Amino acid sequence: MSKISLVAIGSSTGGTEALAAVIPKLCPPFPPIVVVQHIPPKFSRMFSERLNKESQLTVKEGEHGEVIKENFVYIAPGGLHMELRRNKEGNLQIRCFMAAPVHSCRPAVDILFNSVAELVGDEALGVILTGIGHDGAAGLLAMKQKGAKTLGQDEATSVVYGMPRAAFDCGAVDVQIPLNEMAAAMTRVVKESEL
């Protein structure tokens, strides 16, 4: 059973509040967390700084070329796609880039999740939180097909159940979790590699 070496989270409408309910409850040591929250430019940095003040992990806006480290949370910059790639040393680093929106979104969850599926496979945990539309469903399914564990926010605690529903309906979600239990579920998967 593979140890979890990376957590990837996608969220949209209601997601800033959902992330603020989850991230501060996570304690070191914790694998790197990469996040796509649909958010306008500039607001992503302000949101990262606010969340950093409330959290035991270090929360920051992701920067192009940055090598990811444990106990850090990297939030995609508003207006740019964010994905992972490996540098020549084999370390995972962030790639931020301008390209056409996906599902009318930039950053798009699917772009991040697809890169995690390709590079991290069964050592990843994917989490889909509240949001409108279906961004992230295909990427989360790709992660699951590569052996990743996957969690989705349940309908009762989602501000909008669109993204978690789309992921659940296509078979991408292993377990649906209420928001107030999500941090504990993520911690359990990371520590025990079990859902």
Residues classed as catalytic: 12, 38, 135
**Of the candidates 108, 146, 107, which has an alpha carbon nearest to the alpha carbon of residue 126?**
146
Type of residue found at 131: G
Which is it for strands 92-97 and 81-86: parallel, antiparallel or unpaired? antiparallel
Identify residue 122 by its one-letter amino acid code.
D
CA distances from 186 to 60, 99, 141 (A): 20, 31, 18
Phi and psi angles of residue 73, each rounded to the nearest 5 degrees, phi first: -120, 125
